[in-house]
Structure 1
Amino acid sequence: MSVPRPRRIVLLVALVATLALLCCGGSVTAILLGGFYDDNNAKLNAAIGCGKGGPVDPDSKLPRIRQYGAAQIRNAAIIINVGSDLKLPPRAWVIAVATAMQESRLTNLGNLGSRNDHDSLGLFQQRPSSGWGTPAQITDPVYASTKFYEKLKTIDGWQTMPLTEAAQKVQISAYPDAYAKHEPVATQIVNELADGAAGAVGSSVTMVCASAGQIAASGWTIPVKGAVVGSGFRTADRPTHQGVDLIVGRYTPISAAASGIVSKVKCDEDHKGQHTCNVDGYPGKGGCGWMVEIQHAGNIMTRYCHMVQRPFVKEGQQVTAGEIIGRVGTSGNSSGPHLHFEVHLNNDRSSAGAIDPVPFMRQQGAALGGEG
């Protein structure tokens, strides 16, 4: 595990007054970030290593992670180590761990009799009758993981697919959308067992921290490049600020922070009930201006506000991480060009679902505004 490092604090004295003026509306209620972080920031610090310490030895003392016991976490460590030995990028490890979470709860299952799905066995519920191997082979976690990765490598474009799509192309499951819900915890498991590798790009040989604009192994990326973090989340002077303001120039492209489904596209009305998003806003006007909301794996929702023009996406559209969804502007309740960015848990678009995007995005390996 990586050693906790002191947080760098960048003092942008000349910008403080300007950044404090940029504003967006909304009220908030405190909510715990259940499962992503703990009190001593162990999970947060795991993301800092970016895989440089390598995977943990499956036979060493392993941490308990969420609802999974020692044997299950050992199986996850084996899956990760096999991926590393095959010199696959950590994105493959996240996909493989999430798949095994869905198929077996990270348990090396034998024949379940009448409860079994045909002749499915092992961590990935692979079937001897479908050519995955003999029962003895499939119930060997190293063999089963190797076969999963070998099939994954044959899928064109798997690296940039939504996790559930890549997993389904390997597994051909009757429940093709079931894998998505495991992505956040699979990311956490990879981070804790492989020194923050879910925040990295490259293979186990060339692994480096994801830089601005790259998609980390977690499947997340920053929504705008070259931004400075301005007004923060629920500050003392703005306790009803649900997200953070990313200060960047007008017309800067805005990317989807992760793959998902666009759930809302609209011109948010101002305090007068008017929809005037095609003109610059001003402080106190109210509303998000042109805005987009995206639902992601793990019931996470992101919100993007103050776009300069109608967004490039429509409701119900599937987007991939890094896909351009609009451009930065200053529509709605705003005093200058910036992206107001929010993260919500449980697909709860209300104030109760909002969490601080800065630590969340850092844990995904996609630190906002160069923060680290």
Structure 2
Amino acid sequence: MRVPRPRRVVLLIALVVTLVLLCCGGSVTVLLLGGVNDDKQNNLNAALGCGKGGPVDPDSKLPRIRPYGAEQVRNAAIIINVGSELQLPPRAWVIAVATAMQESRLVNLGHLGARNDHDSLGLFQQRPSSGWGTPEQVRDPVYASTKFYTKLQTIEGWQTMPLTQAAQAVQISAYPDAYAKHEPLATQIVNLLADGAANAVGDSVNLVCAAAGQTAASGWTIPLRAGVGSGFRTSERPNHHGVDLSIGKYTPIAAAASGVVSLVKCDEDFNGNKSCNVDGYPGKGGCGWMVEILHAGNVMTRYCHLVQRPFVRENQQVAAGDVIGRVGSSGNSSGPHLHFEVHMNNDRSSAGAVDPVQFMRQQGAPLGGEG
């Protein structure tokens, strides 16, 4: 049977990506390619570059990025290009794009009359009356982006603080927590328009793929450096909804991204007992000492079998890389390791769980010494 030309192109792309992943030591992540649409395929391809190809020309043919139109995507490209020309790291680009998404939906807004927030204008809703520039200047996307980045650089520690805090420090918004929800899509936009730069570290002159233990521009890092033991929903353990990172007891565990601690507890065993300050055993049941963190985009990460009460408390804000506890063997465990899970839509059930190996690779923070 003759395969239609568009389908042949998609199959060829899938084959190329398959070969790239296999030659670089990747596992069989090609399963991700089954049934994806062109936008998702483009995102996967872009994520392989770590920014080495540079930002895309805003005046070239740009990819479609739902839910934004052509002019909005072009404005995002301008924001990224300005950050690159200023030799700022891609983390700054992600922060800037997410901020403009919240302030203007990437639309270069003029005066909105009675609906206007004071005299706020442009992509970042900058106010001429507050010293951002003349009305004409703040409606120039290049000028407005430059002013945003200039102010961002004056914020001490902006590179490592949660995106919403960095954005708020620049904008001084009446809605300081509003920026966080845009971080996942802003990361995808940077990857698509700048050859996977959100998976990188370094400035725009010396971009490299984030190594194990570094925080990528996406804002994600590995919880610890260890090989992946028992995998996600294997044939031997179909109800294993995370992965086991095997390493010695008392090894520090890091928060995989900034967020808010949503749960800290000693998980009950199958008999309803809470006995987490001792080593567990197979068949005991429960996570032992455990932590859950809610991140931007309603992504939740879970950390199980800690050796002692975690170092964090519920409702505490944490940054990527903050130590939240230490490896142990409490609960349903046969030896020291971290059981690590990723859940979408803040769904704590097994239905919300996704493969942490694939997810973390897509964030530029591969588990188990990959990359």
Which residue is 1:200 aligned to?
A: 200
TM superposition shift of 1:160: 0.8
TM superposition shift of 1:66: 2.2
Which residue is 1:106 aligned to?
A: 106
Answer yes or no: is the 8 Å Cα contact 1:37–1:43 preserved in 2: no
TM superposition shift of 1:40: 6.3
Secondary structure at the counterpart of residue 101 of structure 1:
helix
Secondary structure at the counterpart of residue 188 of structure 1:
helix
Secondary structure at the counterpart of residue 21 of structure 2:
coil
Which residue is 2:74 aligned to?
A: 74
Q: Where in structure 2 are the equivalents of 1:1-372 lying within 5 Å?
A: 4=17, 5-7=20-22, 8-9=24-25, 41-225=41-225, 227-372=226-371
Answer yes or no: is the 8 Å Cα contact 1:183–1:298 preserved in 2: yes
Secondary structure at the counterpart of residue 345 of structure 2:
coil
Secondary structure at the counterpart of residue 46 of structure 1:
helix
Q: Distance in 1 between matches of 2:282 and 2:314?
A: 28
- Bigger drift between 66-75 and 38-47 goes to 38-47
Identity among equivalent positions (%) equals: 80
Say if 1:332 and 1:38 are closer, same or farther in 2 by CA, change over 3 A.
farther
Q: Deviations over 1:141-173 (max 9, x none)?
A: 101100000010111111111000000010010
Q: Distance in 2 between matches of 1:356 and 1:58?
A: 35
Answer yes or no: is the 8 Å Cα contact 1:47–1:362 preserved in 2: no
Q: Distance in 2 between matches of 1:301 and 1:10?
A: 25
Q: Distance in 2 between matches of 1:342 and 1:307?
A: 14
TM superposition shift of 1:41: 4.0
Q: Distance in 2 between matches of 1:89 and 1:37?
A: 30
- Bigger drift between 170-179 and 231-240 goes to 231-240
Instruction: Look up the equivalent residue of 2:57 and give its one-letter code.
Output: D
Q: Distance in 2 between matches of 1:51 and 1:187?
A: 12
Q: Distance in 2 between matches of 1:67 and 1:39?
A: 12
Q: Distance in 2 between matches of 1:274 and 1:222?
A: 31
TM superposition shift of 1:118: 1.0
Say if 1:10 and 1:79 are closer, same or farther in 2 by CA, change over 3 A.
closer
Q: Distance in 2 between matches of 1:44 and 1:245?
A: 25
TM superposition shift of 1:10: 6.9
Instruction: Look up the equivalent residue of 1:280 and give its one-letter code.
Output: D
Q: Distance in 1 between matches of 2:42 and 2:362?
A: 11
Q: Deviations over 1:116-160 (max 9, x none)?
A: 111111100011111111111111110110000001011111111
Q: Flag structure 1 segments of 5+ consecutive residues without an equivalent.
A: 12-31
Q: Distance in 2 between matches of 1:294 and 1:323?
A: 12
Say if 1:38 and 1:330 are closer, same or farther in 2 by CA, change over 3 A.
farther
TM-score, structure 1 length as denominator?
A: 0.90
Q: Distance in 2 between matches of 1:213 and 1:371?
A: 11
Instruction: Look up the equivalent residue of 1:113 and give its one-letter code.
Output: G
Q: Deviations over 1:155-199 (max 9, x none)?
A: 111111100000001001000000000000000000111111111
Secondary structure at the counterpart of residue 159 of structure 1:
coil
TM superposition shift of 1:38: 6.9
Say if 1:357 and 1:10 are closer, same or farther in 2 by CA, change over 3 A.
closer
Answer yes or no: is the 8 Å Cα contact 2:292–2:300 preserved in 1: yes
Q: Distance in 2 between matches of 1:285 and 1:124?
A: 54
TM superposition shift of 1:371: 2.6
Q: Distance in 2 between matches of 1:303 and 1:362?
A: 17
Answer yes or no: is the 8 Å Cα contact 1:308–1:328 preserved in 2: yes
Instruction: Look up the equivalent residue of 1:362 and give its one-letter code.
Output: R
Q: Flag structure 2 segments of 5+ consecutive residues without an equivalent.
A: 1-15
Q: Distance in 1 between matches of 2:245 and 2:192?
A: 29
TM superposition shift of 1:276: 1.2
Q: Deviations over 1:199-239 (max 9, x none)?
A: 111100111111111111111100012x1112221222222
| Number of residue-to-residue matches in the alignment | 346
Answer yes or no: is the 8 Å Cα contact 1:44–1:359 preserved in 2: no
Which residue is 1:17 aligned to?
A: none
Q: Distance in 2 between matches of 1:237 and 1:117?
A: 58
RMSD: 1.7
- Bigger drift between 362-371 and 79-88 goes to 362-371
Kindly report structure 1 stretches of 4+ aligned residues shifted beyond 6 Å. 36-40
Secondary structure at the counterpart of residue 249 of structure 1:
coil
Q: Distance in 2 between matches of 1:246 and 1:51?
A: 29
Instruction: Look up the equivalent residue of 2:345 and give its one-letter code.
Output: N
Say if 1:357 and 1:76 are closer, same or farther in 2 by CA, change over 3 A.
same
Instruction: Look up the equivalent residue of 2:344 and give its one-letter code.
Output: L
Instruction: Look up the equivalent residue of 1:303 and give its one-letter code.
Output: R
